[in-house]
Structure 1
Amino acid sequence: MEFVIKISQFLLSLSLLIVLHELGHFIPAKAFKTRVEKFYLFFDVKFSLFKKKIGETVYGIGWLPLGGYVKISGMIDESMDTEQMAQPAQPWEFRSKPAWQRLIIMLGGVTVNFVLAFIIYILMAFAYGDEDISVKSIKDGYWIENPLLVDLGFKTGDKVIAIGDSKVINDSDIKANILAAKSVTIERNGSQKTIDLPEDFLGQLSTSKDRSLFEIRIPFMVGAILDSSKNKGIDLKQRDIITAINGREIKYFDQFAPVLENLKGQTVTATVLRGNETLTRELQVDNNGELDIAIANDPRRFSELGYYDIVKKEYSFGESFSVGYNRFTGQISSYFEQLKLIFSPSTGAYKGVGGFKAIFDIFPNTWSWQAFWSITAFLSIMLAVLNLLPIPALDGGHVMFLLYEMISGRKPGDKFMEYAQMVGFFILIALVLFANGNDIFKAFFN
């Protein structure tokens, strides 16, 4: 069921972004009386799942979910329709239109993606407000489990004071600034210490089996009892919190492992908090020192129990515009920073580039409209920025040649554009293979 929820969110988000992106090309093309021959969600290699001709345009859904396209008459694109281009130019064709109209048509897709992300951030600010965790309220620091962080000198219990030059106020500040950071300032036992990050920190992190960073320490909240567990059938419910073993109080989940390690194969008495009621349950520790019980995360419940404070802000519709704008511009700036790191080989960030599986993995296992729209807004920005890259097979490549034409007054020849399109297509295929190859490599070797 979890897979169905993830794949549903993934396909819905992808379909929404593709359709709106292509509409961004379609609408100005029609406005400038340019013929659009096809409008497709996904690629129709050899056959379509659905197609219907309305007017001069065939609308359809392909079977290959790697994107979508509009086929505009008289345009050298991925269809490589050289036969049409060999004919005399017609008034309804893309190549017959003024350069400024062609530029608007080509920029329409990325414009829609940027506008969509901006609107989503505004509406999310209004509907959900801001919710974060104050780092000052995290009394016993963070859980450091990743061996990479441990080797760099971080320890469980460290409090994060700053990432690089940016002071950490809320928990989200860590993830927002860690990608480009060169150092992390922590507080340990009342003293501050700065730990330098290696230049290839992102590369090491992306190839590590454990990609966790600074995790908030939480109690052992029961999520589900595994089918293979010896504790299957015990009266434990989801959201129960195990607070002690054999009378020994255990505050955080990360403290259970060393306790259970010494109780392998034994029956233990667990103290369980259910709502406001305290219960006891007899549990079996397996030979690996585990209870085989998955943990759950409920920030609001943990806040009620005093583990940390949740900071909540609500915005009026008017205030949501400025908040949405700040999120929008911040996300664009962050993504450009990520691209800069990816194209700097010394950082090793290119190892973290992912394809469709990486995108699929960022969607949650449970349906959350807040998470869905947040991810969709980010993907919309990502799609827009990537499409602006000056690669001939992408919108950015067409824009590059159009700007050259408008500045120089000379239009690149059709034969040159055909060759450029082929080169761009092979570059694009190489990038897609690299990104998805990274996914495969991580799945098998990490």
Structure 2
Amino acid sequence: MEIIIKLSQFLLSLSLLIILHELGHFIPAKLFKTRVEKFYLFFDVKFSLFKKKIGDTVYGIGWLPLGGYVKIAGMIDESMDTDQMKQEPQPWEFRSKPAWQRLIIMLGGVTVNFVLAFVIYIGMAYVYGDSYLKNDDLKDGISVTNPVLQKAGLQTGDKIVSVDGHIIERFNDLPEALLVGVGKDVVLERNGVQQTITLPADLIGQVVDENSKSLVSLRIPFVIAGFAEGSANEGKLQPKDVVLSVNGEPLRYYDQVEVAMSKYKGQTVPMEVLRDEKKTVVDVTVDKDGKLGVFNGLVGMQDMERMGYYTLSHDKYSFLESIPVGLEKGKDKVVGYWKQLKLMVSPETGAYKGVGGFKAIFDIFPQFWSWELFWSITAILSIMLGVMNLLPIPALDGGHVMFLLYEMISGRKPSDKFMENAQMVGFFILIGLLLFANGNDIYKAILGK
């Protein structure tokens, strides 16, 4: 059932983004009386799942869910319909329209992508508000289990002050700040003293190689979830017990308990736990490896807030207040993705190793239905689609815009033959990028990453 929920979210988000992007081309084309011959969700290689002609346009659904398209008369696009281009230009064709109209038609898709993302962020601010942890409230610092960050000099208990000169105000923003801060300085506070470390330029590449699932996380309490087979502490400890101290030493976090256990290998020591809201002392047996033979349970944010570990901040907005909040968040996401894209094209960062295809996008969606997560993921995917389509690669909207700007500035229109060749080059570039991204997915799957 989980896979169906995941797949449903993936296809719904993808379909929504494709249809709205193509409408961004379709609507201005119609406004400028340009004939649109086809409007398709997904690609109809050889055959369509559905198609119906209304007026001059065939509307359909293809079987290959790798995107969608509108076929505009008199335009050299992925259809490579060169026969049409050999005929005399007709007034309803794209090539017969003034350059400024063609520019608006080509920019329509990415414009819709960015507008959609900003609208989603505004709507989310209004409906859900903001829930976050203030970085200043993490009095005991963060948990660092990522070997790459540990090698770089970060430790559990560090309080991150700034990354690349930018003050970290919310813990939620820290992982992204570390990723885009490769090769930059991180100011941290350790044992009351500020110090600076420099992140390695190939941080992202190292993280991908290590198959590290997270960069940093919150320090959590040690909560008993279950027992390993043959555990000497089954019956002494109980599920949901929260470890408070060992041998009289107060221990607030899971990482502290792990360190403490290593000091009592092969011994029996008193452990204070919180059980049913009451403090209880039990004698536990520590094995020769410094383990208790128990599994630590995941603790939800609400439980940790109730137990006094963290305090979530909640901001609610009126509709008018949500507009600047949503616009600011959208702007930050666009800027952040541009920075990530720059890292991906810089070989020294190793960020290209993390590039993924459709499986990577599919994996982003959760196995449970959450409208809040769905809209959040759809918004960032819309930004990614908009940014990628703006790249000056022939066959992408950005490539067409590049040639149109050249025409408007120079007054000379590239020949149809040149555009055909450019489109073919762009097509092979896109195929190469598609193979690389999805090849990365396959490679990671083979290695179990």
TM range (shorter): 0.7 to 0.9
Answer whether contact 2:52 2:58 (CA < 8 A) is retained.
yes
Answer whether contact 1:122 1:324 (CA < 8 A) is retained.
yes
Cα displacement (A) at 1:408: 1.7
1:266-415 paired onto structure 2 within 5 Å: 276=277, 295-415=297-417
SS for the counterpart of 2:60 is: strand
Structure 2 counterpart of 1:196: 198
- Per-residue Cα deviation, 1:191-232 (whole angstroms, up to 9, x for no partner): 222111112122212222214212111235688x799999xx
* CA–CA separation in structure 2 for the residues paired with 1:207 and 1:394: 31
Cα displacement (A) at 1:36: 1.3
* CA–CA separation in structure 1 for the residues paired with 2:72 and 2:431: 22
* CA–CA separation in structure 1 for the residues paired with 2:93 and 2:248: 80
Answer whether contact 2:228 2:293 (CA < 8 A) is retained.
no
Answer whether contact 2:43 2:64 (CA < 8 A) is retained.
yes
Change (3 A) 1:2 1:246: farther
Mean Cα displacement is larger for which, 156-165 or 104-113? 156-165
Q: Does 1:2 align with 2:12?
A: no
* CA–CA separation in structure 2 for the residues paired with 1:167 and 1:264: 42
- Per-residue Cα deviation, 1:39-91 (whole angstroms, up to 9, x for no partner): 11111112222222222222222111111111111111101111222222222
Percent of residue pairs identical: 60
* CA–CA separation in structure 2 for the residues paired with 1:176 and 1:49: 40
Structure 1 counterpart of 2:33: 33
- Per-residue Cα deviation, 1:343-365 (whole angstroms, up to 9, x for no partner): 22222222222222222222223
Give the root-mean-square deviation of aligned CA atoms: 3.5
Structure 2 counterpart of 1:128: 128
Structure 2 counterpart of 1:17: 17
1:181-260 paired onto structure 2 within 5 Å: 181=181, 182-220=184-222, 251-255=252-256
Structure 1 counterpart of 2:110: 110
Q: Does 1:43 align with 2:35?
A: no
Change (3 A) 1:301 1:84: same
Structure 2 counterpart of 1:144: 144
Change (3 A) 1:440 1:282: farther
Change (3 A) 1:437 1:270: farther
In the alignment, residue 8 of structure 1 is paired with which amino acid?
S
* CA–CA separation in structure 2 for the residues paired with 1:208 and 1:339: 21
SS for the counterpart of 2:16 is: helix
Answer whether contact 1:219 1:253 (CA < 8 A) is retained.
yes
Cα displacement (A) at 1:24: 0.5
Answer whether contact 2:43 2:61 (CA < 8 A) is retained.
yes
SS for the counterpart of 1:179 is: helix
Cα displacement (A) at 1:165: 1.0
SS for the counterpart of 2:210 is: coil
SS for the counterpart of 1:219 is: coil
Cα displacement (A) at 1:442: 2.6
TM-score, normalised by the number of residues in structure 1: 0.87
Answer whether contact 1:229 1:293 (CA < 8 A) is retained.
no
* CA–CA separation in structure 2 for the residues paired with 1:228 and 1:427: 55
Cα displacement (A) at 1:171: 0.2
TM-score, normalised by the number of residues in structure 2: 0.87
* CA–CA separation in structure 1 for the residues paired with 2:48 and 2:285: 55
In the alignment, residue 194 of structure 1 is paired with which amino acid?
T
Mean Cα displacement is larger for which, 333-342 or 383-392? 333-342
Answer whether contact 1:283 1:291 (CA < 8 A) is retained.
no
Mean Cα displacement is larger for which, 118-127 or 165-174? 165-174
* CA–CA separation in structure 2 for the residues paired with 1:270 and 1:116: 54
